[in-house]
């Protein structure tokens, strides 16, 4: 008589983890996202929102863990992205391959394709000459000097005279920047606004510099001091804040020790 072997299935409990972003300590391990290389883990929902915010703000996509500067990889995050976010991230990848000073955008509002100066110099066309270029995507001609659609039968200098708004807009932007104490990145020329905080800032292009004087990070006496940029007032220095925290800690510990000693003496006297 043959014996029968019955299968016993034991469902192992799925371990729970804590997401350091939302501080939820009851998240299933299968719902966690692990960052490549560094291995920091967060819940998938928080990573989704983090990536969306960074992409829409135009900021670098680094690991959300405090102090970790490793960059997130598109292929690792693709399953978390919507179609729109995939499109934005792919465009970002293309942009990063082109040096900032060589980026050219098609002035046609229906196109806005990204090109490079090098790419436009390689592509030759019988319709191209000097500053007149053809967009690689929409094939519409534009002036690479004036950054507008092609101004036929008119020089760049005359175009700027006849269309002073572009120059006026630049002046208005400069006046607005001065009024609001905006700063231009010393590398890519993008405008940056900082109302309060550490004087060392990082642009979306990755370049770090001093918001007060424009020097490269670490090359000026302002360091990581915290300022109110509206008034220029120094709020505090990090070492001062650390010293104050230490003082508070010592006072707190001293208070606890004093309380314990008081309780012990109280019981000793009773005996």
Q: What is the pLDDT along the chain (271 residues), one digit of tens a residue?
A: 455 555 555 556 778 888 888 888 888 888 899 998 888 999 999 999 999 988 887 778 889 998 888 889 999 999 999 998 998 898 888 887 887 778 888 888 787 788 888 888 776 654 455 788 888 888 889 988 888 889 888 888 888 888 776 655 566 666 766 766 777 777 766 667 765 556 777 776 667 777 777 666 655 555 555 544 444 444 444 444 555 567 678 888 888 888 887 777 777 676 6
Strand pairing class (141-143; 132-134): antiparallel
Phi-psi region of 197 (alpha: psi -120 to 50; beta: other; left: phi over 0): left
Q: How far apart are the first and last CA of the chain?
A: 81
Q: How many residues does the chain have?
A: 271
Q: Would the pTM count as exceeding 0.85? A: no
Tokens of 97: 């391959």
Say which of 138, 188, 198, 205 is annotated catalytic. Answer: 198
- 63 has catalytic annotation: no
Domains delineated in the chain: 16-96 (3.30.40.10), 100-165 (no CATH), 180-238 (no CATH)
Q: Among candidates 179, 147, 151, 185, which has minimal Cα distance to 166?
A: 147
């Amino acid at each position: 008589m043959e014996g029968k072997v019955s299968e016993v299935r034991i469902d192992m409990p799925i371990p729970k983890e804590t997401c350091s972003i939302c501080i939820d300590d009851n998240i299933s391990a299968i719902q966690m996202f692990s960052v490549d290389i560094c291995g920091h883990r967060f819940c998938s929902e928080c990573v989704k929102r983090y990536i969306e915010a960074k992409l829409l703000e135009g900021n670098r996509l680094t690991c959300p863990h405090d102090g970790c500067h490793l960059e997130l990889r598109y292929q690792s995050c693709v399953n978390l992205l919507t179609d729109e976010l995939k499109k934005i991230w792919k465009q970002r990848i293309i942009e990063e391959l082109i040096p900032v000073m060589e980026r050219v955008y098609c002035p046609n509002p229906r196109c806005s394709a990204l090109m490079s100066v090098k790419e436009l110099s390689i592509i030759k066309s019988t319709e191209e000459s000097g500053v007149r270029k053809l967009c690689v995507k929409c094939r519409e001609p534009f002036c690479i000097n004036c950054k507008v659609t092609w101004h036929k039968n008119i020089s760049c200098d005359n175009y700027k005279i006849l269309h002073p708004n572009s120059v006026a807009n630049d002046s208005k932007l400069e006046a607005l920047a001065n009024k609001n104490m905006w700063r231009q990145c010393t590398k890519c020329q993008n405008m940056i606004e900082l109302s309060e905080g550490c004087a060392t800032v990082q642009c979306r292009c990755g370049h770090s510099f001093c918001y007060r004087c424009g020097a490269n990070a670490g090359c000026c006496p302002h360091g990581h001091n915290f300022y109110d940029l509206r008034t220029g007032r120094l709020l505090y220095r990090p070492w001062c804040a650390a010293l104050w925290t230490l003082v508070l800690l010592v006072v707190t510990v001293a208070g606890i020790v004093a309380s314990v000693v008081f309780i012990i003496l109280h019981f000793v006297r009773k005996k």
